[in-house]
Amino acid sequence: MMQLFGSRNGCLPWMFVCLVVVTAVTVLADGGRDDSSRVSSENVGWNWWDGLRLDLFEQYSTAWMRSVAPPDGGADWPKLEMNARVVAAVILGSLGACICAAGGVGGGGLFIPIFNLLLLFDAKTSAALSNIMILAGSIAVLAWNIRRTHPLSPGKPLIDYDVALLLNPNMLLGISIGVFCNITFPGWLLISVLTVILFYMTNRSIQNGFTRWKKESAAAAKAKEKIAIVSAHSVETGQRTSGLTEPLLGGQSEPSLFAQCPPQKLIKLVMMWLLFFAVQILRGGEGTEGILKVKPCGLAYWLLSASQLPLAIGLTAWIALQHSSKSHAAKPSESNEEVDVMLTSRAYTVFPLMALLAGMLGGMLGIGGGMIINPMLTEVGMHPQATAGTSSFMIFFATSMSVLQFWLLGRIPMDFALLFGAVCLFWSCVGIGLLQAAIVKHGRPSVIVFLVSSVMGVSALLMATFGGFNVWHQYRAGDYMGFHAACGEK
């Protein structure tokens, strides 16, 4: 125990401190919520069976849980009851969490149809609940990956913290823009945008997967040929070759409990999150009074919202300058294209823009952003396992900000959120363990890329098919399908 917390490079203490800070600040923010937005516990009941109500839960239903309900008490939200729809949703959510956690993507493309089409939530609330599941899954993946080393360089962490630092500010900015779009855009537009993007990213991911598979096959063939030659030579000379016949992956002893990770970079990431968090708390939201008590949708409200743009630009420029100086100082022989992602001057522009897009899609559609970040990192040559680890690490920061903003807007049904968050947390752990066992056994990290492709492909088909039927039903029913006011009625 002393070695863990006394180690100079031990990552657990720093991650623990960072998580505690983020959690504590989020909980303290509850004090600013206006009492007029609170509703009675009768509207937030937890019914497991018809006719059975947990009086103890109803009596001690906390102000925190009531505070997340919208002013109308979520009258249009389905009630949580033990029925066929909920059971089917739990089963499908468990399967989706297992696959998505292994692939390093959030899984919003799978989770949104579960809430929207199976549990009958509207598209906006489905996006909020999807972010809850993504956040729970990212916590499980983060707890697993934070202690692992890079498969090609045991001295380096699996997560590329430099890339995460470069992408994080614009991803957090995109979250704020995306949540705003989620409020104003009609449901049919959200579904259409999500479907098109998922089909496009599926195609790109499949191409990258086959490229990676061919490289692995060629490397395995060369390794077998080398082993055969050395084995034949050793038979003649009597030398041992046991070291050459060990598996390429998983043959080494298990890495130390916690891989090396610079605490300075973790602190920078948390400080970035807290800066964007401070804007939300100072500004407040509809039904939630901020610290500055500005008028919702007034001049001060929009000025505070717009302050996130120069904040993101400044932080990105600062990180890019630091990374560029570090890259020039490093010797070419010290880098490996799959271990160290060499960022060019063009990448310093393209990567943040892609992160901005990923954040916007995460906030607007509830997909977490991993379906954009993951293929992007794979395409620039990052190792699949490092890609999954880095992508999941960023998803944690992005979805926590997204969940916070949905919470401030009162769009999270806490009973469903707690249930499906717990389900996703557990089955994400299961999925990670199964994937690691498969990679160690078969030596095929490209399976991660194909997992990501399958998740996106199935998500696109689900949204195109069932989402299209849902939009058609709204059209036939004469429902309003236009844009909504940013500060109008929910």
User: What's the token pair of residue 10?
Assistant: 């031990």
Between CA 203 and CA 210 the distance in angstroms is 11
Least confident of 133-147, 177-191, 257-271, 428-442: 257-271
Q: Does 45 score more than 90 pLDDT?
A: no
- Of the two residues 228 and 374, the one the predictor is more confident about is 374
For 105: left if phi > 0, alpha if psi spans -120 to 50, otherwise beta; the answer is beta
Structure tokens at 53: 């109500």
Q: Is residue 46 part of a domain?
A: no
The residue among 161 and 55 whose pLDDT is bigger is 161
Q: Does residue 421 have a pLDDT over 90?
A: yes
Residue 8 lies in a domain: no
Mean pLDDT, the chain, as a whole number? 73
Please give the model's pTM, rounded to 2 decimal places: 0.65
| HSE, side-chain direction, 13 A CA sphere, residue 99 | 22
Taking the C-alpha atoms of residue 127 and residue 412, their distance in angstroms, rounded to an integer, is 10
326 domain residue, yes or no: yes
Please determine, for residue 357, whether its predicted confidence score (pLDDT) is greater than 60.
yes
State pLDDT tens for residues 263-311: 888 899 999 999 998 988 888 766 567 788 888 778 888 899 899 999 9
Between the ranges 234-248, 298-312, 315-329, where is the mean pLDDT highest? 298-312
Straight-line distance from the first to the last Cα atom of the chain, in angstroms, rounded to the nearest whole number: 51
Q: According to the model, what pLDDT value does residue 133 have?
A: 92
Select the more confidently predicted residue: 36 or 401: 401
- 65-115 pLDDT, tens digit each: 333 344 444 557 888 888 899 999 999 899 888 887 777 677 777 788 888
Name the pLDDT band for 439 (thresholds 50, 70, 90).
confident
User: How many C-beta atoms lie closer than 10 Å to residue 156's C-beta?
Assistant: 17
Alpha-carbon gap, residue 34 to 286, rounded angstroms? 10
SS3 (DSSP) at 288: strand
Query: In this structure, is residue 278 part of a structural domain?
Result: yes
User: Directed axis angle between helix 123-145 and helix 347-365, to 10°?
Assistant: 130
Chain Cα centroid distance, residue 40: 33
Taking alpha carbons only, the member of 259, 255, 256 closest to residue 11 is: 259
Q: Which residues contact 210 (CB under 8 A, 6 or more apart)?
A: none
CA atoms within 13 A on the CB side of 282: 15
Domain membership flag for residue 336: yes
Coil, strand, or helix at residue 137? helix
The per-residue pLDDT for range 120-151, each reduced to its tens digit, is: 888 778 888 988 998 998 898 888 888 777 77
Where do the H-state alpha helices sit in 121-160?
Answer: 123-145
For residue 255, tell me if it sits in a domain: no
pLDDT of 52 > 90? The answer is no
Give the Cα separation of 111 and 105 in Å (integer). Answer: 12
- Predicted confidence at residue 417, as pLDDT, reads 92
Across the strands, what pairs with 288? 33, 285
Quote the domain boundaries for residue 357. 83-238+260-477
For residues 333 and 94, the model is more confident at: 94
Say how many domains are in the chain: 1
Q: Are 351 and 97 in contact (CB under 8 A)?
A: no
